[in-house]
Amino acid sequence: MKFALASITLTAMLAVPFAAQAQFAKPEDAVKYRQAAFTLMGAHTGRIGAVVKGEKPYDKAAVEADAAVLEMVSKLPWTAFPQGSDLANSKAKPEIWKEQDKFKAAADKMQAEVGKLSAAAKSGDLNAIKTAFGGVGQSCKACHDNYRNK
């Protein structure tokens, strides 16, 4: 029930992805929003990663659910980078706003890799999940290297 409610809520949020930018009354709100989305992405990526690394037993339903949430949430943070949201409490590098086409391409690549992971999770093939997880990790690392301060 909780997963269904979360899915409905996230689906409703995704119905108007570009309207989200207009919802930020202050730059701080955009930072909080994107940080929350990235925190959720990290949590679900970490759960799958523990399975991929053999730290947790493989449970198809759990991996599939985590991948589905990751796929939905991976669409959220990108509207939360309006001009002026490069604040001190943000880890975002100024290159995000200077290289918006490249930043968008990196976001699109990550979302495509997450889509592959979601498909692999549905297949139940652990080797395919491991391969797809590697693609997600590479796309996340590339964006962090180029657009995130440590």
Q: Give the pLDDT of residue 17.
A: 46
Q: Give the pLDDT of residue 77.
A: 95
Residue 69 domain-assigned (yes or no): yes
Residue 40 domain-assigned (yes or no): yes
Residue 103 domain-assigned (yes or no): yes
Residue 11 domain-assigned (yes or no): no
User: pLDDT-derived band of residue 150, with 50, 70 and 90 as boundaries?
Assistant: confident
Strand partners, 92: 148
pLDDT at 136 over 80: yes
Residue 86 domain-assigned (yes or no): no
pLDDT tens-digit map of 73-82: 999 999 999 9
Number of domains in the chain: 1
Q: Give the pLDDT of residue 35.
A: 95
CATH number of residue 140's parent domain:
1.20.120.10
Q: Give the pLDDT of residue 143.
A: 94
Residue among 23, 24, 136 at smallest CA distance from 90: 24
**Over residues 123-150, mean pLDDT:** 96
DSSP string, the chain: -HHHHHHHHHHHHHTSTTHHHHT-SSHHHHHHHHHHHHHHHHHHHHHHHHHHTTSS---HHHHHHHHHHHHHHTTSGGGG--TT---TT--B-THHHHSHHHHHHHHHHHHHHHHHHHHHHHHT-HHHHHHHHHHHHHHHHHHHHHHB--
Residue 56 domain-assigned (yes or no): yes
Report the percentage of the chain scoring pLDDT > 90: 79
Q: Determine the structural domain holding residue 56 and report its residue range.
A: 26-77+92-147
Q: What is the pTM of this model?
A: 0.83
User: pLDDT-derived band of residue 18, with 50, 70 and 90 as boundaries?
Assistant: very low
Residues 6+ apart with CB under 8 A from 28: 87, 89
pLDDT at 111 over 50: yes
pLDDT at 71 over 70: yes
